[in-house]
Amino acid sequence: MSKIHVTTTVNGDEVEFLCDSRETLLDVLRDRLNLTGAKEGCGTGDCGACSVEVDGRLVCSCLMLGAEAEGKSIATVEGIAEGEELHPLQKKFIEYAALQCGICTPGILVAAKNLLERNPDPTETEVRYWLAGNLCRCTGYDKIIRAVMDTAKDMREAS
């Protein structure tokens, strides 16, 4: 079967790839572009470990085909830090021990960053519902929610 040629932007860089029509965006990111930060926890859009932004919108990359990335702008966990400077969420997640095993962390960081860009002052309930699509089995979410809330507070005070 002939492959599909796709031109897209990932974390600000223009990239080209060939993919099978059945490959998901997650397959392409991980297996063709070597960006293994997004994880496959379920392949059915239930766990959020593969969360990325597509043109600023939060999506499960396991539910989107690689071919659909044509002309889009994709942002993954690998693009959250600016050079050596970590995003405030990344710093806070380390400081608060908002991760144990760390497998859900890339997806949660992408989702939380997307939330704070839309809503710089979310309530605890808003954070919990926004992150309800990102499963974490280790932490019970307590430290994750605190880290997101306190990052939002720091970012509001800094701006």
* Residues forming the site for other proteins (CB under 8 A): 20, 22-23, 27, 30-31, 34-44, 46-47, 49, 76-78, 80-81, 86, 90, 93-97, 99-106, 109, 125, 127-129, 131-146
Q: Which is nearer to other proteins, 40 or 154 (CB)?
A: 40
In the complex, what is the shortest distance from the CB of residue 152 to other proteins, in angstroms, rounded to a whole number?
15
In the complex, what is the shortest distance from the CB of residue 1 to other proteins, in angstroms, rounded to a whole number?
9
3-state SS assignment for residue 70? coil
Residue-wise over 51-86: b if at least 16 C-beta within 10 A, else e? bbbbeeebbbbbebbbbebeebebbbbbbbeeeeee
In the complex, what is the shortest distance from the CB of residue 47 to other proteins, in angstroms, rounded to a whole number?
6
In the complex, what is the shortest distance from the CB of residue 146 to other proteins, in angstroms, rounded to a whole number?
8
Q: Which is nearer to other proteins, 56 or 94 (CB)?
A: 94
* Dist CA 137 CA 104 (whole Å): 9
Which tokens in the block code for residue 2?
A: 């002939």
